[in-house]
Amino acid sequence: MKSENFLLAFAITAAVVSLVVFGYSYSNLGDLVLKISGYATGTGTANLTVETQAAVNFTTNIVNFGSGRVSEGFTSASLITVGSGTVSGGNWTAASGLILENIGNTNVSLNITVGKNASNFIGGTNPVYEINVSNVETGSCTNATFALGIFYNANTSNNILNCNVFRFDSAADSLRIDFNLTIPENSLKGSLGDIITATATAL
Amino acid sequence: MKKVLAGIFIVFFLSAGYVTSLGISPAVYEIDFSPGEVFEIDYKVSSDSDNEKIRVFVEGDLDYIVELDKKELNPGEGFKAKLTMPDRIETSGVNRLYIGVESVPKEGGTLGTSIKIKSVVKIFAPYPGKYLEGYLEVPDGNVGDVLPIELFVINRGTERADFTPEVNFFESGNIVGKVKFDSVSLETNQEKKFQDFLNVEGYRPGDYFAEVAIDHGKGFYFNDSFRIGSLYVKVINYTSEVKKGGIERFNVAIESNWNGVLEDVFADVNLSTQDESFFFRTPSVVLNPWETKTLTGFIDTTELEGEYDAEIVLNYDGEKTVVEGKVYIRKTNFVFLVLFISGLFILALVVFIVAYKVKNRKKDRKIRK
């Protein structure tokens, strides 16, 4: 009888001790994981450097009116590149304007300048050489020093075509440059042209 | 006289063989000025040219500190710029130096595009004495969120800065919370980013302002505004008068006060009198954080007329906003329009007749004289 009581007492004690040990282990499971699994609870820092790139691209890089002349009965011809382009008073081919895109990953300031004036580009009596910068995508050119979509005289002393911010966002990174030319009948002859310089400066 | 009109060939920007795309990297390089220190920058240049040369140039007041290993590049080449800092820079703050590349237009009677790209080197020269720059950022959140706070400070002065930053949070001008960071000592051009969290449990939804004032000889302040949102979409307006006689629009303008996207937001509209009731549901929309939008439903007013009690129940994410009001359904009063136009016509006719009679009377008087 005594041995049975002893065994019973031992079994109950063992069960209670097991429960206590189980409870203690369960409540400290987090620490246990920390010790044996390397589970980290601190905060770390990930560093990554993305290099900046300033880049622009003339996606439409040619305005080619081809060969032509002022038509009989007209004193001058008008060539405009707005839209798909129009020609009146002459037989040149209509052409549309240039498209300039910011293909980098940083905003830039943009300045557009020309290499000639109407007199040494076209010549003759009352030639007209005008340039117009407008957004292809809304918001591409912001903080401009000029009015977008308006024609200005293109000459070498005109330095007002500045976008203080030409954006790189893919939905707002594209500009259009249009031209308005008047070719008088007594203009310069031969192959006529000019150089438009787009200067993009990282901000 | 026959006029001889010679042909004119006008071309802007030939395509083949010309650079139409030009880029430089890195576009921005920042240097903290230290006398005599030397920096070397490795530039990568991208262009679409197969054979056109690219010229390298330097611009700016500090252009004399730059040595280039190449002045002209072939396509695909990069170059190195070595910058040797002078003993001193007169202008405190940011000094800009531009290192760029440009395409070389072809000579000889034809035309070409010229692109010039300038990268910027920003050289920070310390301000005399005590000067700190930095920013504080606290994003928008919702009630119960834990918002990350980031304070960045850089010592732009010549004197060492010792301070303990503490961010105060204000609602309607009252302090509602504080976060204190460890003390720090920054030498010239040294910077430190402080990060912690703000638990906005218990904060009311609304507009808040965070500010840190650093006492470094004089006060330097950095601040940010942020909003704490709640799951509530407000009805800010609705159509109160509708034309009778067909399918008409009914608009409900709503505004989200939640700093998260709410999918499937729609309104159930019930128009009723003592005798009748009419119900319709608007199509659902997605509301972005803090966004204002208009829900548009359509109501057939052929059989409806008069004043109706309106109940608009806005549904979003298991919640509802209920607004009650009045809606008037009126027919366009054509009789009144006809009378109005007729009256105008009669008035014009009377004015014409009177003017005609006056003119004739003056003529008669002249003839008698």
Query: pLDDT, tens digit, for every residue of B145-163?
Result: 999 999 999 999 999 999 9
Shared fold status for B132-229 and B233-330 = yes
Beta strands B38-47 and B21-25, pairing class: antiparallel
For chain B, give the number of residues. 369
pLDDT attached to residue A26:
52
Mutation site, B1, B8, B43, B102, interface A, largest A CB count within 10 A: B8
Looking at per-residue pLDDT, the higher value among B135 and B331 belongs to: B135
User: Does pLDDT of B17 surpass 50?
Assistant: no
Residue B133 pLDDT > 90, yes or no?
A: yes
Going by C-alpha positions, the residue among B20, B12, B19, B6 that lies closest to residue B110 is: B12
Helices (H) and strands (E) in chain A, counts: 3, 13
Of A40-49, B17-26, B39-48, highest mean pLDDT: B39-48
Give me the mean pLDDT over the B319-340 stretch: 81
- In the predicted model, is pLDDT for residue A42 greater than 60? no
Tens digit of pLDDT for each residue in B33-82? 999 999 999 999 999 877 788 999 999 999 999 999 999 999 889 999 99
Provide the CATH number for the domain formed by B233-330 in this structure: 2.60.40.10
For chain B, which residues make up each domain, given as ranges? 22-125, 132-229, 233-330
Return the HEC string of B2-70.
CCCCCCEEEEECCCCCCCCEEEEECCEEEEECCCCCEEEEEEEEEECCCCCCEEEEEECCCHHHEEECC
CATH annotation of B132-229: 2.60.40.10
User: Residue A123 and residue A131: Cα distance in Å, rounded?
Assistant: 17
Q: What is the pLDDT of residue B333?
A: 59
pLDDT, residue B53, reads: 85
Which helix (H) or strand (E) is A23 found in, with range? Answer: helix A2-27
Cβ-Cβ contacts under 8 Å, B111 against chain A: 193-195
Interface membership of B1 toward A (CB under 8 Å): no
Mean pLDDT for the stretch of residues B314-341: 84
* DSSP character string of B295-328: EEEEEE-TT--EEEEEEEEEEETTEEEEEEEEEE
Q: Looking at the predicted structure, is the pLDDT value of residue A8 above 80?
A: no
- Cβ atoms of B116 and B98 within 8 Å: the answer is no
- Contact present, A177 and A148 (Cβ < 8 Å): no
What ipTM was reported for this prediction? 0.74
Residue with token string 């509802």: B320
Answer whether residue A33 shows pLDDT above 50. Answer: no
Burial (CB count within 10 angstroms: exposed 0-12, middle 13-18, buried 19+), residue B50: exposed
Nearest to B5 among A70, A104, A108 (CB): A70
Classify residue A70 by its DSSP letter: B
Q: For residue range B311-323, what is the model confidence (pLDDT) as tens digits?
A: 999 999 999 999 9
Closest CA to B105 of A104, A194, A110: A194
pLDDT at residue B4 in the model: 36
Q: What is the pLDDT of residues B25-42, one digit of tens each?
A: 999 999 999 999 999 999
Q: Domain B22-125, what fold? A: Immunoglobulin-like (2.60.40)
d(CA B162, CA B216): 7
Mean of per-residue pLDDT scores for chain B: 87
d(CA A99, CA A56): 10
Most confident option among A128-137, A158-167, B108-117: A128-137
Q: Of A33-42, B178-187, B326-335, give the lowest mean pLDDT range.
A: A33-42
The CA distance from B310 to B239, in Å, is 10
Residues of B whose CB is below 8 A from A56: 21-23, 115, 117
The 3-state DSSP class for residue A50 equals: coil
Closest CA to A176 of A108, A116, A95: A95
Question: Crossing angle of helices A29-37/A2-27, nearest 10°?
Answer: 70
* Chain A residue with Cα closest to B118: A201
B138: Cβ contacts below 8 Å, ≥ 6 apart: B147, B148, B149, B150, B198, B208, B210, B224, B226
